[in-house]
Amino acid sequence: MTIVTKLQVPVYRNYIGGQWVDSSSKEQLESRNPATGEFISYAQKSTVQDVEAAIDSVYDAFQQSDWGYNPKRRYEALLGLAHKMEENLEHLARVLTMEQGKTIRESRMEIAGSIDTLKYFAGAARTVFGRSMQLEPNNFGIIVKEPIGVVGIISPWNWPALLMVRELAPALAAGNGVIVKPASLTPAISVEIFKLIAAVPEFAKGIVSIVTGPGRSIGAAMGKSKKIDMISFTGDTSTGKSIIELSTSNIKKLALELGGKSPNVVFADANLDKAVPLIGRSIFISAGQICMAGSRVLVHESIKDEVVSRLKAYAEHLNVGNGIHETSDMGPVISQSQLDLISEYCEIGRKEGTIITGGYRLTGEEFDKGFFFAPTIIDHLAANCRVVQEEIFGPVLAVQTFANDEEAIALANGTDFGLSAGVWTADLNRAMRMSKEIKAGTVWINTYNKNFPEAEFGGYKQSGLGRTRGVDGLMEYCETKHIHLELE
């Protein structure tokens, strides 16, 4: 629920034990529209005391309700939430765009993806399976999948609806209780979804809670809590490493989806009419603020000039503007600090390489009110340059060139990350060989950024631990128990 101030700015409250409550601090977080600078909402600046109350509530609900062992109830709850989100899709999309800045078309796509995820895991709730085996003539083993217990989800600001639901849905489908800590920059859309959860009677009272506030304190409290059995975190790799350290309090299970520096590898026989627009979209969608952004393009030397020329034209024809406008192709970045960080990387690119297009903050007229950055392409960078090696989280594409398959593989694997990659070629044998050699959790062939709740997603190397989506994503939120039976 929300309460309204005199200025008609919504104030979002925590949801604990099936009740909407204020933070014990009586302080609030301010959210502003990154396109206009306008206040759009307030959320609770929660304390460790608040998050501990939420953890206790979820823990008690998990222990006392039938949620963990009633798959039909979980199916009906998740499907009910999906239907509520369908009924409110346009409202949710507008809240998301106003809070995060992405275009309204992207927001509709994100909410639709959240709904699809809920529907998939609603069905999966009724298919949590184990197995049995005969071990000896009178001995049988029964392998049972059980809920872990209480799961803490720490969700990011870049795709705050989908990346919360992507973890919330399987965690609940497996029978766990869940507490969510959304990113402080984008709490509104998460609480809006929880308002819909509160309206679905099949959810056990108290089985889900949401607490907003600073990650440094309440996120850390979740990591340390001995009543939380698992942490799911989506975000940058450095914070993921901190989560690993905090989890040692009770050796929590972890699911971490971290950073990326994903390459699109373009061979000389690629269909450029298809490849170039999708490569451009892969880096400039959400202003590059997406973990699987195709932030590197690796091009065979024979077609390098043509590919760069086409990508330059694509970038310069994008309509950058307020995401709420239907005509906008790319919105602002999330904050001034993110804008400054992107600018710093572009200065490195300017000194160590060649700016093909962009490389600057957009100014004038409505641009001055928000955090807009020009779509940027940088060429002639050394393989060890920070622009090539580090996740920028902005609309910045680094160009690299290769002469043969072996060099392409070396460049593709030449960072600490391994989240995703794209391979563009008409040669199926080459495509399959590349997909085998590239160390990434997802390799798209002749497409990019196609994601489905049925298909697992996650990273190699410093891009994370575990998998989300699909059967493996459901099993991440299960414990495995062996029950041994000996007949007399």
The CA–CA distances, whole Å, from 258 to 154, 246, 309, 390, 459 equal 12, 16, 32, 13, 8
* Those residues with Cβ within 8 angstroms of residue 20's Cβ, 6 or more apart along the chain or in another chain: 1, 13, 14, 198
The CA–CA distances, whole Å, from 171 to 132, 225, 481 equal 24, 18, 18
| Distance (Å, whole) CA 266 – CA 284 | 18
| Distance (Å, whole) CA 168 – CA 154 | 10
Q: Kindly state the DSSP code that residue 33 receives in the 8-state scheme.
A: -
Residue of 106, 257, 391, 456 with catalytic role: 257
| Distance (Å, whole) CA 43 – CA 25 | 12
The answer to whether residues 345 and 48 touch, using CB atoms and an 8 Å cutoff, is no
* Those residues with Cβ within 8 angstroms of residue 8's Cβ, 6 or more apart along the chain or in another chain: none
For residue 486, the number of C-alpha atoms closer than 13 Å in the C-beta half-sphere is 1
86 catalytic per annotation: no
- φ, ψ of residue 477 to 5 degrees: the values are -100, 20
| Distance (Å, whole) CA 19 – CA 16 | 5
The CA–CA distances, whole Å, from 332 to 149, 154, 248, 288, 328 equal 39, 24, 38, 10, 10
The answer to whether residues 14 and 211 touch, using CB atoms and an 8 Å cutoff, is yes
Determine how many CB atoms are found less than 10 A away from the CB of residue 250.
11
Buried b (16+ CB within 10 A) or exposed e, 204-227: bbbbbbbbbbebeebbbbbbebeb
Catalytic residues: 257
